[in-house]
Amino acid sequence: MKRILVANRGEIAIRIINACKTCDVETVAVYSQPDEASSHSWIADRAVCIGAAAASASYLCEDRLIHVALETGCDGLHPGYGFLSERHEFARKCVAAGITFVGPSPDHILLMGDKAEGRRTVQKL
């Protein structure tokens, strides 16, 4: 991967961006309007505003994140932790758009989202 969109904010985004720098991978940070001056947005190689303050209108807007990743030439997308990293549908959208989802495969996310099935699978190993 040459360029990754970091679809999170704060400390986790900073850690992801710093890890990418050690691997010579360019980063694109996203930020909501109130987060414009946040550290993660100025340490990345590029930063793009993705919407208003509400997470549902910015950081959780899946289609907007994929659009920005494609628009900025990203070949990977790191969801950080939390909601997006647990949504198999989002991982599938990334893959369908030709973007590498940096995380488990959509099928593994779906499997491990069902705690009982996840335990049974792990016990079989």
**Total residues belonging to the chain:** 125
Would you state the structure tokens that stand for residue 84, as one six-digit string? 């997006």
Please tell me whether residue 96 adopts helix, strand or coil conformation. Answer: helix
Does residue 113 carry a pLDDT above 80?
Answer: no
- 8 A C-beta contact, residue 78 and residue 4: yes
**CA–CA gap between residue 117 and residue 98 (Å, rounded):** 29
List the domains of the chain with CATH numbers: 3-124 (3.40.50.20)
How much is the mean pLDDT over the chain? 93
- The whole-angstrom separation of Cα 42 and Cα 114 is 38
pTM of the model: 0.89
CA 23, 76, 27: angle at the middle one, nearest 5? 55
d(C-alpha 67, C-alpha 69), whole Å? 5
pLDDT of amino acid 49: 96
Q: Range with the lowest mean pLDDT among 18-22, 32-36, 56-60, 65-69?
A: 56-60
In angstroms, the first-to-last Cα distance of the chain is: 31
